[in-house]
Structure 1
Amino acid sequence: MGVSEPFSVLMSVYAGDDPAFFAAAVASVTVDQTLPPSELVLVVDGPVPEGIATVLRRIEAGEATGPVPVRLVALPRNGGLARALEAGLAACSHSIVARADADDLSLPQRFAVQLPMIASGYDLVGSALVEFAEEDGPDGMVRALPCDASDIAAMARFRDPFNHPTVVYRREAVEVAGGYEHLNKMEDYWLFARMIAHGARVANTDQVLVRYRVGAGAYRRRGGADMLRSELRLQWRMWRSGFTTTTQFARNIAVRGLYRFVPLRLRALMYRRMVRPSASMR
């Protein structure tokens, strides 16, 4: 098995995405890559407005992805990210699958860095990312995560140890863990926790390989009643499955639950504290 093993890129787009951001994201994982994928699997999660439809027509015509073939999976109604990704995984032709979001930018060397790591025996590989607001503006905070498997497993008991838009994984390892399950805004964390619990070989690279787009409402969206309900469901599932202890469950409810309702400025400070690599909590 070598670096040349074929791989798919899996992306989902829906009505709320920005057409220009979507087009740039597609280019970043296809024509801009030094190691292009073997295919792009693009899930259209329900009806989309004309702006997105125009970009999709360009993609179908081969104008946006160069020689990279595209497989479109159109869902009749919007069902959320987890259901879209499950449909997309089923359509992927290859065992190795790289995730990408419809508004972020993968750096040109991303797959050239991550595919050799997968080829060396890992089942799940992520990377650091850098936040940005404007494409021609300055970059913001770097979100780096532990690279060692034991540190990743320790962090997973408190917070997501992977940046979802950066991961590359073996589809078989995802399937063994049960695949994506619907859990608003937290389906990736729940999947990665189950993959670790099922023995997946995991790693991160500390290289920044993705530029993660953040808007003015980024911290606001991390709070509120809906996010608290998702948080409680996630923590219950992790405790019930045995992934976290009773003590860890209580701590997570107290700390992460509080985070969903504190004032916006304090939430931003707490977020910046939690995303530091040193925030690995056992």
Structure 2
Amino acid sequence: MDPQKDRSAGASRQSRFHGGVPQPASRQKRSESVSAGSPAVAIGERVSVALKQAPGTPLRRSRTPSGIRPIRFSVLMSVYRNDDPIHFWEAIESVTAKQTRRPDEVILVVDGPVSEDLETVIDHWEAQPMHNVRVVRCKQNVGLAKAMNVGLQHCRYDYVARMDADDVSLSDRFEKQFSYLDQHPDVSLLGGWYRQFDDKMQHCLTDRKVPSQSDAIKQYSRKRTPFNHVTAVFKRDDLMRVGGYPSIDGLMEDWWIALRMIKQGMRLANLPEYHVNVRGDSAFMRRRGGWHYLRSEFANLTAMNREGLMSMRDLVQNLMIRSGVRIIPVGLRSMIYKAIRRV
């Protein structure tokens, strides 16, 4: 997913969080008149299939290594008005019912008012007790970074796995990641690789591989983000120690987090395998070009330098390379992106 786009532990289903304050649930009844082929109809059919497959029980049995006390963890998601309901359904399903090692809770931040179709999906998953989906609502759209920081306040477990509202986690993602973390408790942030598909998840367009070893990650971070946010598992307290998600202009939150963690001496790691299938679209490269995007990168890179996260030499090199990439035609920029991701 391209970013830009709690219930308390003892609260009943009759109360919801609005900006952290419990409010009575007062939602208008959904319209019973829905046109054929609409997202709501498709969602309703998918709900029926899911319930027939596993009435009252998860679709997969959660596995943990024998003889090891499993790490308890949260999944943190955010949804906003422009998210597609079907894609959102598939995203939640991929981190709950379809996982071989299921999370202990899912914290879902609803970032401002959303459509009735999205509310249908939220209501369904919130009503499934075996998945423990806890909903946190923001009265207004606050953006991804602030929504994530709100959600972090409601995560009850030391480890937090990120998931976007339109991607699909592979079924063994958490089993592999937490098997690694069981053996490496000193890791503050664990990521992995992803594949990027078209909007229908039918054709793989590209992928993004990142280094796995600590020294290589530090070196890589001098030029670009050394982990894939869509695959990330954080230690909650360590993320909070570096300020949580930064409120910045642009799409560099991940890079800021990585550099701040590295500066604090925290250990980052990536598993050298795919964990998530990412949904792309035709506008992906257009959003990563133009003068506004370039000005945003300039502001962020110079701020990283002022904070001591990036040397002056790296700052100059990054600005020189990125300036050219941002103003060239979209087709050429796409070719460069694909080449860089494989370096």
Task: Give the alignment's TM-score, normalised by structure 2.
Answer: 0.77
Give yes or no for contact 1:41–1:70 (8 Å, CA) kept in 2: yes
TM-superposed deviation, 1:228: 1.8
Equivalent positions of 1:201-280 (< 5 A) are 201-276=267-342, 278=343
**What letter matches 2:141 in structure 1?**
N
AA aligned to 2:341 is V
Name 1:87's counterpart in structure 2: 150
Taking the TM superposition and a 5 Å limit, the aligned residue runs for 1:168-187 are 168-183=233-248, 184-187=250-253
1:100-111 equivalent positions in 2, closer than 5 A = 100-111=163-174
Counterpart position of 1:53:
119
1: distance between equivalents of 2:203 and 2:330? 23
Q: Which is further off, 145-154 or 234-243?
A: 234-243
Cα displacement string for residues 94-143 of structure 1 (whole angstroms, at most 9, x for unaligned residues)? 01000000000000000011112222121111001111115562323221
> Partner residue of 2:178?
115
Relative to structure 1, the CA distance from residue 3 to residue 245 in structure 2 (aligned partners, 3 Å threshold; closer, same or farther) is farther
Counterpart code for 1:269: M
Query: What's the Cα RMSD here?
Result: 1.5
SS at match of 2:106: strand
Instruction: After TM superposition, give the deviation of residue 248 of structure 1 in Å.
Output: 0.7
Q: Distance in 2 between matches of 1:259 and 1:136?
A: 27
Partner residue, 1:125: 190
In the other structure, the counterpart of 2:86 is: 20
Deviation at residue 52 of structure 1 after TM alignment? 1.0
Stretch of structure 1 that moved more, 231-240 or 81-90: 231-240
Displacement of 1:3: 5.8
**Counterpart amino acid of residue 150 in structure 1:** D
Structure 2 vs 1, CA of residues 31 and 259 (structure 1 numbering), >3 Å: closer, same or farther?
Answer: same
1:148-187 → structure 2 map (5 Å cutoff):
148-183=213-248, 184-187=250-253
Which amino acid is 1:110 matched to?
A: R
The amino acid across from 1:60 in the alignment is E
**206, 210, 222: which one aligns with 1:141:** 206
Relative distance call for 1:136 and 1:264 in structure 2 (3 A) is closer
User: Which of 187, 190, 193 is 2:256 aligned to?
Assistant: 190
Kindly provide the amino acid, as one letter, of the partner of residue 111 in structure 1: F
Aligned length: 274
Amino acid corresponding to residue 256 of structure 1 in structure 2: R
Shift of residue 217 of structure 1? 1.1
**How far apart are the structure 2 equivalents of 1:68 and 1:145?**
31
Q: Residue 78 of structure 1: SS of its match in structure 2?
A: coil
Distance 1:107 1:205 in 2: 14
**1: distance between equivalents of 2:307 and 2:339?**
28
- Quote the Cα distance in structure 2 between the aligned partners of 1:36 and 1:98: 11
Q: Residue 258 of structure 1: CA displacement?
A: 2.4
Amino acid of the residue matched to residue 192 of structure 2?
S
Secondary structure of 2:153's aligned partner: helix
Instruction: State how far apart, in whole Å, the 2-side matches of 1:11 and 1:223 are.
Output: 27
Distance in 1 between the 2:201 and 2:301 partners? 39
Write out per-residue CA displacement over residues 34-54 of structure 1, whole angstroms, 9 at most, x where no aligned residue.
000000000001111122111
Establish whether residue 72 from structure 1 lines up as the match of residue 72 from structure 2.
Answer: no
In the TM superposition, residue 229 of structure 1 has moved relative to its aligned partner by 2.7
Output one character per residue of 1:74-110: Cα deviation in whole Å (capped at 9) or x when no partner: 0011111100000011110101000000000000000
Q: Give the TM-score of the pair, scaled to structure 1.
A: 0.93
| Inter-CA distance 3–23: structure 2 relative to 1 (3 Å threshold) | farther
